[in-house]
Chains A and B, each alone.
Chain A
Amino acid sequence: MTARAPSIPYQPRGFGLALETAGAWLLALIWLLPLLYAFWTAFHPSAYATRFDLTAPLTLENFVAAWNAAPFARYFLNTFALVTLILACQFVLCTLAAYAFARFEFKGRDVAFLLVLLQLMIMPDVLIVENYRTMGKLGILDSIPAIALPYVASAFGIFLMRQTFKAVPRELDDAARVEGAGPLQILLKVYVPLARPIYIAYGLVSVSYHWNNFLWPLIVTNSVEARPLTVGLQVFSSTDQGVDWSIICAATLMTSAPLLIGFLLFQRQFVQSFMRAGIR
């Protein structure tokens, strides 16, 4: 593609290219500015939080202070348990349901599928009042399963898997059946392996969504034992103990670090996953 690049029309050249490059870089710089500012503040003593001086000493003190000021280790553990629980349940439930929608003929299938798609519009994020009451009745308020439950049966996941399974050639299915495999065996031996890239894509999207989710966990949790990172960060940074921005910035970067580092290392996979999961 690069070899014949000069012949591609509408690729800017010369002055136009320079102008476009400048614009793109300027916007990129503006885009990174707030983040760079947070980095600067987090890695320098608070005396330099808002004073820019290239000779300012670098320090990790702020991270140590943040780590010691709140039970972040526990929050990390909670978030880790939360995203693992959600992802594992989503994989199982969505795979089973998608298989039924993709490869079974039965009465009421279209109605059932429509009921599933309804969740794309009425998301659990909106039904906070009723879901809170349900969790109260189930007696599991302030627990990690309570955060996870409304999201486990994901319409988006079912839809995505169904599209993928529908694209699997029927012949493979029939061949397995002739060899005497039952429906579940066919699912595990034929469909799931073929859908691997979609599982990875969906997994990345799901993990980043639930790592970052805030409102519902804020409502439903109440204690250090159940609180995920996002809520922990909010509790930590909203207590009025004389705002030390250096420490708050450090805590903020710390909570986002796993996803941020993962993104920087596996950029292509991240972008492709978000794209694949979005475009379907």
Chain B
Amino acid sequence: MTGRTNRLEALHAWLLLLPAMALLVLFTHWPAVGTFIDSFYSTPRGRRRSIFVGLDNYQQMVADPIFWQSLTNNLWYALGTIPVSIALALLMAVWVNDRIAGRALVRMAYFTPTVLPMIAVANIWLFFYTPQYGLLEQVLGAFGVPAHNWLGSPDTALACVIVVTIWKEAGFFMIFYLAALQQISPVLAEAASLEGASRWTYFRRVQFPLLMPTTLFVLVNAVINAFRTVDHIIVMTRGGPDNATSLLLFYIYEVGFKFWDSAYAAALTVVLLALLAAVALGQYVFLERRVHYR
């Protein structure tokens, strides 16, 4: 009897799962496996069918300077956006958590970029950066700084894109810190002040450690975003000038949908997936250690 009810329950469960699972397999699992397989084949062109080419695509990749540049750009981009946006988010949260005048308005100002589409953000900043009459040039010009084409020169283009990402992301991360700060018991602050700890000590020794889980969560999100968002690249620079702002996913998009070389794009995607897997693994290992530590 119980055996039958168990089997019935299992049947029900799988029926409930079926629609979601089918779509997940079709649009996540299978494409991931398919990407891996395709990276060992050539791109079918016209009447030429795709054939097994072993590691050819990967050899092409190793010899491809644009791939290496996109990868290094992406690492610099991650390194430039993540620490600054997290630090700013924390600062914003601490400020907005205090009883400053008009803090609702301030909080709104910080959070607003989050609800805008990345492409709208990119358009707004494109205008902001415009040579000669953009706001940035006007302000800097007033201070006597010589004219400079910020997005048009390879030295500054990536930094400009990094600023845009920080602007868009910091307010989003702020709300997680704000929520975590509000959950810290006021008793801790009272105890710390009885001990005569300075505000900085209280922040460094009490608040910051208690915010660690939030920092980890935000960090993982920031890393993933650094590798999966290229909307602003497409709008602002198209990877230029001279590939100075080409990120990995943007390069995949170019190879796959401008040059229509799907096999090479698959090999590049494998690298991106490996990077994301490393992030997930790192998060897992870090969490494990933290649990043991406790």
Residues of A within 8 A of B (CB): 5, 8-12, 17, 20-21, 23-25, 27-29, 31-35, 37-38, 41, 49-50, 92-94, 96-97, 99-101, 104-107, 109, 112, 115-116, 118-134, 149-150, 152-153, 155, 158, 183, 208, 211-212, 214-215, 218-219, 229-230, 233-234, 237-238, 245, 248-249, 252-253, 255-256, 259-260, 262-264, 267, 270-271, 274-275, 278-279
Contact = CB atoms under 8 A, between A and B. Distances in A.
Contact of A130 (B31, B114, B119, B230): B31
26 contacts: A9-B190, A9-B193, A21-B100, A23-B95, A25-B106, A34-B128, A34-B135, A35-B124, A37-B128, A38-B127, A97-B21, A121-B280, A126-B228, A128-B252, A129-B266, A153-B28, A155-B24, A212-B119, A237-B123, A237-B235, A245-B130, A263-B111, A275-B176, A278-B175, A278-B217, A279-B217
> Nearest 8 A-B pairs (CB), nearest first?
A130-B31, A9-B193, A212-B117, A104-B13, A106-B10, A153-B23, A28-B109, A100-B16
A76 B112 CA distance: 21
Contacts of B257: 128, 132, 219
A65 to B, nearest CB: 16
Contacts of B272: 126
A125 B226 CA distance: 12
Contact of A20 (B26, B27, B100, B227): B100
Nearest to B35: A130
A24 B92 CA distance: 7
B112 A215 contact: no
Given A212-B117, A215-B231, A256-B116, A152 B23 contact: yes
Contacts of A97: 16-17, 19-21
Given A133-B262, A212-B117, A109 B127 contact: no
B269 A127 contact: yes
A27 B192 CA distance: 29
A268 B276 CA distance: 33
Contacts of A100: 12-14, 16-17
A129 B16 contact: no
Contacts of A25: 102, 106
A205 B128 CA distance: 28
B99 A11 contact: yes
Contacts of A107: 10
Contacts of A12: 98, 199
B116 A259 contact: yes
B171 A31 contact: yes
Contacts of B20: 93-94, 96-97, 116, 153, 158
Given A25-B102, A93-B23, A99 B124 contact: no
Contact of A274 (B95, B114, B199, B253): B114
A245 B114 contact: no
Nearest to B276: A121
A35 B122 CA distance: 11
A45 B115 CA distance: 27
B253 A126 contact: no
A159 B199 CA distance: 39
A271 B175 contact: yes
A37 B124 contact: yes
B86 interface: no
Interface of B: 6, 9-10, 12-14, 16-17, 19-24, 26-32, 34-35, 38, 91-92, 95-96, 98-103, 105-106, 108-120, 123-125, 127-128, 130, 133-135, 138, 167, 171-172, 175-176, 179, 186, 189-190, 192-193, 199, 202, 217, 221, 224, 227-231, 234-235, 249, 252-253, 256-257, 262, 265-266, 269, 272-273, 276-277, 279-280
Given A152-B23, A212-B116, A248-B123, A121 B279 contact: yes
Contact of B13 (A94, A106, A129): A106
A129 B252 contact: yes
B6 A105 contact: yes
A96 B266 contact: no
A131 B266 CA distance: 11
A149 B119 CA distance: 22
Contacts of B253: 128, 215, 219
Nearest to B36: A130
A93 to B, nearest CB: 4
A132 B228 CA distance: 17
B123 A252 contact: yes
Given A127-B35, A234-B119, 7 more contacts: A38-B124, A96-B17, A104-B9, A130-B31, A214-B118, A267-B111, A270-B115
Contact of A8 (B29, B120, B189, B229): B189
A106 to B, nearest CB: 4
B115 A122 contact: no
Contacts of A149: 23, 27
Contact of A134 (B10, B26, B103, B105): B26
Nearest to B116: A256
A35 B273 CA distance: 35
Contacts of A23: 95
B109 A32 contact: yes
